[in-house]
Every structure is written in structure tokens, then in C-alpha cells.
């Protein structure tokens, strides 16, 4: 057995976690924990193991978590640190709930709720982490921690930050921590985040949202619909006057706009930041960017990019939230493939996420989702040949 640094010579009880022992005081434990208060009142068996006449209480918890809790009890400045690590907060939550250290549990919850508030106003006002140490994967760990400890109020803003920050592949694959371990989402939270990210992409095209203005909406109060339509077209044309280029796929040329591509793709955004040399091939003064992709797939991608409402409105997606996209025809698989392949290759994150979500909705990863999905009509057009 190894003695911890938290070993008080006048202590009257020894807590043992694995092979680490902590000599502390019944009175301190009982003051903060109703569990230990009740345990102290129980008669001790005559054959109970002891160290220096101090009874040993064996715990099934990790030694480092026990140490974090004891330091919080014995070292006043421990909880006064500006930022605490997630392992410390995890220990305060798990052991605070298990052994009824109410004050420790509440202090950990307060840090989570301050970083992930429940109102839009508080969320907009929040910025970088102020009370919790940040690292790659911290959002995943906090979501898992909140789910495990039933702190449900934290989940909406925590999940929103995760889907806003990471693309779908990272949500599924997880994020390596500095110690080589992997931060990953629990299955229920992964499903929640994947569906949420899919819905966020679609929401952009609804009335009143970022890209909703490009679509035609019925308005009984509008007395100049033709004028509104013309104004919308002029706005689109005005947005397309800046820095054009030609994408060359096979023998097919596509004359498009740097800014439109750069808005959705980090690859083209980097190209825009590093323009080609003056001697670069051009068409009518527009630089040529040669692509090694199938022209038909490039065509699908550009149609979704430039005319998402009218192009996708031909098809019916596998979601009740598609709203205006609901139609009779299923989405052809080549379109899904194009958005996945080119979306990943050129980092069109929204398109890639949307297409992957369509596949996952059609081929779910759980038995319940599979049984439910096969009671519905397919949202992806079946191939006529294998």
C-alpha cells in the first residue's frame, strides 16, 4: 500500500482507493457528506481492517478522483482556482453525487452551467472558457459528463457548440487528447448531435434565416411580388460580380465565383487568399482551376451551391423537417455521392454533412433506427443495377 500526501497523523479514518490510502478525519467527512455522516454512526465490526487503530474504508473509486475531492475539502484555495480541469470537475460530480458531498457537486455544476448557459442572451455573451480548462475534445467530454450525471440543462448549448465547431466525421471519430486517449461522444449524444447538425444545415434555407432570402416565399401582404423578385435577383447578381474563375473538369468548363466557393469551402478560401500568377491559364480573363473530378459530380455540387432551393426541391429528403423540399421523387444516389466525395475533398462541410445524414437516416446504426427506417419510404433513389 502507498500512503498519499493527504495523510494526517491525527486522522482517525483511512480511505483506501485501489492501493492508495488517505488518512483523514471522520468529522471533516461527516460535515460535508451525509453518506459519511451516516456511515460514521454505524457500529464498526470488531474484525474491520485498520491502520494505526484507524478503520479502513475501502472505496471502489479511482485514487486520483478521491484525492481531488479530499483536496477540495482540506485546501480552501483548491476550489478558488479560476479554471479547473475536466478530470477535477468530473471527480466533484461523480463522487459528490455518489457520497452526497452536496456543496462540491453544486460547485462543479455551477462551472458547467456558467460555460454552457440555458438562455440565448447568456450564450451570446459567453466566449472563451472562463472556469474550465480548454483542450481539444473538451466539448465531447463535457457532453458525456453532463449526460452521465443527468445535468440536462447543459446539453443544448454544449451540443450546439460541438456541431458548430466540428464536422460530422469528427463527431463520429472522436478527438485525440494530448495524453493519447480519445474524447468521444456517447451513442445517444452522437445521434443527437448528428441529427442536430443536419437540421441546422436545412434551417439556413428557411424564411427568416441566413439563406432564406434567396427563396420565393408566399406573402399575402406583398403588393409588388414582381419587384421583390427582381430585387432578389439583383442582389444575387451583385454578389456574383467579384472575382470570377473557371473550373475545368474533363472537357467541361464552369464559370463561377471565388467568393461563392470560398464562403462554403476552406480549400477555395485558401486559393482565394493565394491568387494564381499572372501567366496562369485563363478564359476571358478568368483564371482556370483544373479539377480531376467527374464533370457530372461538379455540376451537381455547383447546382446545390448556387440554387439549393430549386434544385433540391425536386426531391424528397428523409426528414420531416425538410419542409419545402418534400416532393415525390427520391434523391438520386449520384447526387449524394457527389456531395460526399467533393464535399470531403474540397471541404464543403455543410454539403458533406447533409449528404452523410441522408445515408445515415437510410442506413441507421441502431436496431431501433433500422426497424423504424424500413417502415418509411426511401429518401434515396434505389439503383437499378448493383
| Residue 1 pLDDT exceeds 60 | yes
CA distance 313 to 379: 13
Residue with cell 493519447: 180
| Residue 265 pLDDT exceeds 80 | yes
The CATH number assigned to the domain holding 69 equals 3.30.710.10
Last residue of a domain, one of 72, 95, 111: 111
| Residue 328 pLDDT exceeds 50 | no
| Residue 286 pLDDT exceeds 70 | yes
Same domain as 143, residue 107: no
Q: What's the confidence (pLDDT) of residue 318?
A: 42
Least confident of 127-136, 167-176, 235-244, 315-324: 315-324
Q: Which residue has the higher pLDDT, 273 or 311?
A: 273
Same domain as 368, residue 270: yes
| Residue 366 pLDDT exceeds 90 | no
Same domain as 366, residue 247: yes
Q: Which residues contact 298 (CB under 8 A, 6 or more apart)?
A: 247, 249, 252, 254, 291, 338, 342
Residue 129, domain member (yes or no): no
| Residue 340 pLDDT exceeds 90 | yes
Residue 267, domain member (yes or no): yes
| Residue 16 pLDDT exceeds 70 | yes
Domain carrying residue 147: 135-203
Q: What's the confidence (pLDDT) of residue 240?
A: 45
| Residue 155 pLDDT exceeds 60 | yes
Among the listed residues 343, 336, 375, the one whose alpha carbon sits nearest the alpha carbon of residue 358: 336
Mean pLDDT of 193-212: 71
Same domain as 44, residue 104: yes
Q: pLDDT digit string (tens) for 73-123?
A: 999 899 999 999 999 999 999 999 999 999 999 999 999 999 999 888 888
Last residue of a domain, one of 96, 111, 126: 111
Residue 125, domain member (yes or no): no
Among the listed residues 129, 157, 125, 122, the one whose alpha carbon sits nearest the alpha carbon of residue 143: 157
Same domain as 196, residue 150: yes
Residue 217, domain member (yes or no): no
Q: How confident is residue 65, by pLDDT bands cut at 50, 70 and 90?
A: very high
| Residue 253 pLDDT exceeds 50 | yes
Q: What is the pTM of this model?
A: 0.56
Q: Which residues contact 302 (CB under 8 A, 6 or more apart)?
A: 247, 254, 256
Residue 122, domain member (yes or no): no
| Residue 196 pLDDT exceeds 70 | yes
Mean pLDDT of 184-191: 91
Q: How confident is residue 241, by pLDDT bands cut at 50, 70 and 90?
A: very low
Q: What's the confidence (pLDDT) of residue 316?
A: 47
Strand partners, 291: 249
Instruction: Output the average pLDDT for the chain.
Output: 81
| Residue 384 pLDDT exceeds 50 | no
Q: Which residues contact 236 (CB under 8 A, 6 or more apart)?
A: 214
CA distances from 48 to 43, 123, 225 (A): 11, 52, 86
Same domain as 145, residue 57: no
Q: What's the confidence (pLDDT) of residue 322?
A: 39
Least confident of 163-172, 271-280, 338-347: 271-280
Sign of the Cα torsion 258, 262, 268, 270 reads: positive
Same domain as 256, residue 331: yes
pLDDT above 70 covers a percentage of the chain that reads: 75
Among the listed residues 202, 200, 228, 224, the one whose alpha carbon sits nearest the alpha carbon of residue 308: 202
Same domain as 282, residue 191: no
Same domain as 185, residue 70: no
Q: How confident is residue 371, by pLDDT bands cut at 50, 70 and 90?
A: low
Residue 381, domain member (yes or no): no
CA distance 7 to 10: 9
Same domain as 142, residue 40: no
Judged by phi (left if over 0) then psi (alpha if -120 to 50, else beta), residue 229 lies in alpha
Residue 386, domain member (yes or no): no
Same domain as 369, residue 275: yes
Same domain as 366, residue 267: yes
Residue 219, domain member (yes or no): no
Q: What's the confidence (pLDDT) of residue 326?
A: 37
Mean pLDDT of 301-319: 65
Domain count, the chain: 3
Residue with cell 474540397: 346
Chain centroid to Cα 202, Å, comes to 17
Last residue of a domain, one of 111, 127, 150: 111
Strands of the sheet with 2-7, listed across from one edge: 2-7, 20-24, 13-17, 54-59, 50-51
Amino acid at each position: 500500500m502507498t500512503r498519499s500526501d493527504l495523510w494526517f497523523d491525527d486522522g482517525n479514518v483511512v480511505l483506501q482507493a485501489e492501493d492508495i490510502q488517505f488518512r483523514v478525519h471522520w468529522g471533516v467527512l461527516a460535515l460535508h457528506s451525509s453518506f459519511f455522516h451516516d456511515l460514521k454512526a454505524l457500529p464498526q465490526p470488531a474484525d474491520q481492517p485498520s491502520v494505526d487503530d484507524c478503520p479502513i474504508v475501502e472505496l471502489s473509486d479511482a485514487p486520483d478522483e478521491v484525492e481531488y475531492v479530499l483536496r477540495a475539502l482540506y485546501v480552501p484555495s483548491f476550489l478558488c482556482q479560476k479554471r479547473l480541469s475536466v478530470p477535477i470537475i468530473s471527480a466533484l460530480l461523480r463522487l459528490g453525487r455518489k457520497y452526497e458531498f452536496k456543496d462540491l457537486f453544486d460547485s462543479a455544476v455551477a462551472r458547467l452551467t456558467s460555460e454552457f448557459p440555458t438562455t440565448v442572451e447568456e450564450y451570446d455573451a459567453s466566449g472563451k472558457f472562463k472556469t474550465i480548462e480548454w483542450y481539444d475534445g473538451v466539448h465531447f467530454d463535457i457532453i458525456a459528463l453532463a449526460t452521465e450525471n443527468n445535468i440536462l440543462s447543459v446539453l443544448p448549448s454544449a451540443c450546439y457548440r460541438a456541431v458548430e465547431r466540428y464536422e460530422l466525421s469528427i463527431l463520429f471519430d472522436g478527438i485525440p487528447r494530448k495524453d493519447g486517449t480519445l474524447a468521444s461522444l456517447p451513442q445517444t449524444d452522437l445521434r443527437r448531435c448528428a441529427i442536430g447538425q443536419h437540421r441546422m444545415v436545412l434551417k439556413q434555407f428557411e424564411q427568416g434565416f441566413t439563406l432564406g432570402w434567396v427563396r420565393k416565399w408566399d406573402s399575402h401582404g406583398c403588393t409588388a411580388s414582381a419587384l421583390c423578385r427582381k430585387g432578389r435577383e439583383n442582389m444575387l447578381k451583385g454578389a456574383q460580380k467579384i472575382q470570377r474563375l473557371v473550373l475545368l473538369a474533363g472537357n467541361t468548363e464552369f464559370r463561377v465565383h471565388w467568393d461563392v466557393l470560398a464562403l462554403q469551402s476552406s480549400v477555395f478560401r485558401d486559393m482565394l487568399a493565394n491568387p494564381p500568377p499572372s501567366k496562369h491559364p485563363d478564359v476571358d480573363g478568368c483564371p482556370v482551376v483544373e479539377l480531376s473530378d467527374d464533370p457530372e459530380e461538379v455540376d451537381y455540387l455547383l447546382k446545390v451551391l448556387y440554387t439549393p432551393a430549386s434544385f433540391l426541391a425536386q426531391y424528397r429528403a428523409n426528414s420531416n423537417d425538410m419542409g419545402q423540399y418534400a416532393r415525390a421523387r427520391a434523391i438520386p444516389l449520384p447526387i449524394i455521392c457527389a456531395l460526399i466525395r467533393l464535399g470531403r475533398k474540397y471541404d464543403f462541410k455543410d454539403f458533406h454533412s447533409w449528404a452523410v445524414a441522408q445515408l445515415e437516416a437510410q442506413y441507421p446504426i441502431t436496431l431501433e433506427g433500422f426497424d423504424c427506417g424500413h417502415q418509411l419510404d426511401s429518401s434515396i433513389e434505389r439503383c437499378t443495377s448493383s
